[in-house]
Structure 1
Amino acid sequence: MKISVVGGGSTYTPELIDGFGRFNGLDEVVLIDPSHERLSVVGPFAKRMLPAVSWTTDLDEGLDGADVVVIQLRVGGQGARISDETFPLECGCVGQETTGAGGLAKALRTVPVVLDVASRVGNDAWIIDFTNPVGIVTRALLDAGHRAIGLCNVAIGFQRRFAALLGVEPGEVLLDHIGLNHLTWERAAYVDGMDRLPSIVDRLDDPEMVRRLGCVPSYYLRYFYEHDKVVAQQRVSPTRGEQVAAIEAQLLEMYSDRALTEKPALLGQRGGAFYSEAAVGLISSLLADDDAIHAVNLRNHGHFPFLPDEAVIEVNAAVGADGPTALPGAPVGPMQSGLIASVAAYEELALDAALRGGRDRVYRALLAHPLVGQHDLADGLTDRLLAANSAYLAWAR
């Protein structure tokens, strides 16, 4: 088996390599990145962790013969991320790289690049997309006819956290996980068929909110439920991109140490906790055809009756050789369905803007987003977004 990692020069890559080391029958892992400088540091360290690792700056060479392609690229690097996290604040809106105006900016930069990469992937290969915004990018891949699945670490993070609180192994906890990427709720945590979530509510963050909602919102729901509070905090705090850039500099220095053969503890602060476990589990199911349950991004196909079939949702699915099939679940109530439908509509408009460009398409996507929703805000954010991203958007120059 050959796994190709696009964006393999990321400082996060050793986390993936640590997981891939548990595969049986793995012949080769190829790290692909346009940055020779990064590959020259990350590549040798990854190879010390797993001898099957090689690396290249040649995309076609790296993808040739791949059974699985993992995409984890970041167009514009941390500099573009910092921009996504700051320009919306000028209009009083949340600055975040996956939602709101910052998330749209990232989608505009990212979708064309990911589609170009995917066009070079063999027809039989599975594409696992880690690249944010995962829901929009996965929709773009599926619309283009690729065998693609979107993967996020929110669900596996909740599973690990709930398992620790319940005193059981993570594999014993089955979540009732619903929503869109970075817009999800945990409605239950089943252990041996019984919902144990009520027993740990008091030990969760903001238990009163959890009781009122009747479910546990993901971290990303704070941008909706506590928007003004978050904006106030962001205006006086370093961006997450600035924090990650500092961590990355330290990690690259550590990776250069030829005596280092295991991932350093600092990598845990880089973000992406449990991604490697989620990736290994998902890839194993695709290859072993075991129909194990994973929380993934996939086509709606009627699962949420209030969304179009072609929308991409994030729910539990049985995964086998033919891909994921969403598991049946209880109907989604209006507290969640209204916001899901609103953000899904934005995502459809965002993808259209990413594929076809144009100021008006960007404006309409922003106006549709529930974190914007006003003409003056959408207009001002559009100008700032295009000014900040003209280097990446040929049509905006």
Structure 2
Amino acid sequence: MKGKIKIVTIGGGSSYTPELIEGFIKRKDQLPIGEIWLVDIEEGKEKLDIVGNLAKRMIKKAGLDWEVHLTLDRREALKDADFVSTQFRVGLLDARIKDERIPLSHGVIGQETNGAGGMFKAFRTIPVILDIVEDMKELCPNAWLVNFTNPSGMVTEAVIRYGKWDKVVGLCNVPIMCRKIAAGSLQTEEEDLFFRFGGLNHFHWHRVWNKDGEEKTAEVIEKVYATEGGLKKAMQGLKSSGVQNIPSINFLAGQIRNLGIIPCMYHRYYYITDDMLKEELESYEKGETRAELVKKTEAELFELYKDPELNVKPPQLEKRGGAFYSDAACELISSIYNDKKTHMVVSTRNNGAITDLPDDVVVEVSSIITAHGPVPISWGSFDASSKGLLQLMKDMELTTIKAAVTGDYDTALQAFTLNPLVPSGTIAQTILDELLVAHKKHLPQFKEKIEALEAK
């Protein structure tokens, strides 16, 4: 890349965009940005205008001459782009509310990226990301795709496996929070610790060492997971209260000790399913599922964004639950552009990093970020207690992606059956059918099956 670079963000009307802009401003000396294009759809036009004007004010305050373009024309934006980031939500937050409430109405976990709801987010998202990739092949064939649209791992896998596009990296803020929690529990700086992550998006584990080479994994487990209130204490002083999407219910201490590796926050759905379901059902009954709360928070944020005097990212954005997402995207772009060889946790092709999974599948692992993309750091093999779940979840992901691409109902049912958070049999079929009908506007690949269901 030579000269000024062009960055395109699809889903530019997202409430996260101010953090993205802040991240670029912080790296103004690393990235010779010429143009930033924020792209959205007609339904998101009002939010795009609001957040886009805030972005312009932030850039002006920083004394930068970057051009900011707001558009509903994706193809116009993509032409000659150097980096394309994706942060869109097909169906907006109303779709997420359905993903959470419909499974919960049957006494089943309802969550944005896990269980039935997460699979339906994949069904809606994957066809759209593949359309974007086809446009990129024509309009910006040398661009990097930086994806933090959830479910990030499955979306990244679809781009590589079905889109045949290798210049893609998936991102998530959960590993960043895991690093901060570990550092807080050890009362040291993140930079003085070495981390190794392995697994899948929202389903990874990690280990940690100090600068003297001593492994501190067991100590973090004791201080954070095996001590009452340990997690809350470890997070004190962080600028964000963490992954807001997940209730901070304690893991079973003995089980985590036995694992010998540190689980991510989302493992609660698999290790203490009953406790998590109870919490979700209580919120469901009050009309306060996470999606419903986020919708209120987002409305408040956009009221703040409208203020013509506001020219910085407001601190209230941290309540949105995605802290550090956008900063990670900016650091990834800078690392690729400058060949910085930064150590980051990303979703990328396995290439032997986890020996329990095929080389060609996408995993979430510690990687060195170079000009030619991520180079995964070897994790090796998992113990049987983790390996079985990992392999099951990867096969569930692959089956979900296949269903999203083909629109085959029976493949979707197979994916539901594989998912540990979805009861098999009649309940699975009932939830699948209800979600298909509820999301029919955004599931054209399932059109015939949905029409048959509605005709019953």
TM-score of the superposition, structure 2-length normalised? 0.84
* C-alpha distance in 1 between matches for 2:193 and 2:403: 39
Aligned partner of 1:124: which letter? N
* C-alpha distance in 2 between matches for 1:274 and 1:9: 18
Work out which of the residue numbers 158, 177, 184 in structure 1 matches 2:204: 184
Supply the RMSD in Å over aligned alpha carbons.
Answer: 1.6
Structure 1 residue 212 and structure 2 residue 230: aligned? no
* C-alpha distance in 2 between matches for 1:354 and 1:153: 25
Structure 1 residue 258 and structure 2 residue 308: aligned? yes
Using a 3 Å threshold, how does the CA distance of structure 1 residues 192 and 281 change in structure 2: closer, same or farther? farther
Q: Is the 8 A contact 2:354 2:379 kept in 1?
A: no
Deviations 1:311-333, CA, capped at 9 Å, x for gaps: 21101011111111111224211
Work out which of the residue numbers 166, 169, 179 in structure 2 matches 1:149: 169
Deviations 1:144-203, CA, capped at 9 Å, x for gaps: 122111011111111122223333332332212111000011222443432233334343
5+ residue gaps, structure 2, are 61-65, 228-252, 452-456
Work out which of the residue numbers 120, 139, 143 in structure 2 matches 1:125: 143
Q: Secondary structure at the match of 1:86?
A: helix
User: Greater shift after overlay, 85-94 or 250-259?
Assistant: 85-94
Map of 2:57 onto structure 1: 48
* C-alpha distance in 2 between matches for 1:93 and 1:317: 35
Cα deviation for residue 390 of structure 1 reads: 1.2
Work out which of the residue numbers 322, 325, 329 in structure 2 matches 1:279: 329
5+ residue gaps, structure 1, are none
Aligned partner of 2:37: which letter? V
Work out which of the residue numbers 280, 288, 291 in structure 2 matches 1:241: 291
After superposition, where does 1:1-397 map in structure 2 within 5 Å?
Answer: 1-23=5-27, 24=29, 25-34=32-41, 35-51=44-60, 52=66, 53-121=68-136, 122-143=140-161, 144-146=163-165, 147-207=167-227, 208-209=253-254, 210-237=256-283, 238-372=288-422, 374-394=424-444, 395=447, 396-397=450-451
* C-alpha distance in 1 between matches for 2:414 and 2:218: 41
Aligned partner of 1:16: which letter? L
Q: Is the 8 A contact 1:14 1:263 kept in 2?
A: yes
Q: Secondary structure at the match of 1:85?
A: helix
Q: Secondary structure at the match of 1:316?
A: strand
Q: Is the 8 A contact 1:159 1:174 kept in 2?
A: no
Map of 2:236 onto structure 1: none
Using a 3 Å threshold, how does the CA distance of structure 1 residues 141 and 270 change in structure 2: closer, same or farther? same
* C-alpha distance in 1 between matches for 2:357 and 2:411: 21
Q: Is the 8 A contact 1:138 1:149 kept in 2?
A: yes
* C-alpha distance in 2 between matches for 1:129 and 1:275: 10
Q: Is the 8 A contact 2:86 2:148 kept in 1?
A: yes
Cα deviation for residue 12 of structure 1 reads: 1.1
* C-alpha distance in 1 between matches for 2:312 and 2:391: 44
Name the % identity. 39
User: Greater shift after overlay, 93-102 or 370-379?
Assistant: 370-379
Q: Is the 8 A contact 2:39 2:77 kept in 1?
A: yes
Q: Is the 8 A contact 1:297 1:315 kept in 2?
A: yes
Deviations 1:66-108, CA, capped at 9 Å, x for gaps: 1111000000000000111111113322100111110111111
User: Greater shift after overlay, 230-239 or 305-314?
Assistant: 305-314
Q: Is the 8 A contact 2:352 2:378 kept in 1?
A: no
User: Greater shift after overlay, 163-172 or 339-348?
Assistant: 163-172
Q: Is the 8 A contact 2:196 2:366 kept in 1?
A: yes
Q: Secondary structure at the match of 1:257?
A: coil
TM-score of the superposition, structure 1-length normalised? 0.96
Q: Is the 8 A contact 1:188 1:215 kept in 2?
A: no
Deviations 1:44-69, CA, capped at 9 Å, x for gaps: 10111124233211111111221111
Aligned partner of 1:360: which letter? D
Aligned partner of 2:154: which letter? I
Alignment size in residue pairs: 397
Cα deviation for residue 354 of structure 1 reads: 0.3
Cα deviation for residue 234 of structure 1 reads: 1.0
Q: Secondary structure at the match of 1:128?
A: strand
Cα deviation for residue 373 of structure 1 reads: 5.1
* C-alpha distance in 1 between matches for 2:337 and 2:210: 27
Cα deviation for residue 206 of structure 1 reads: 4.2
* C-alpha distance in 1 between matches for 2:69 and 2:213: 44
Q: Secondary structure at the match of 1:91?
A: coil
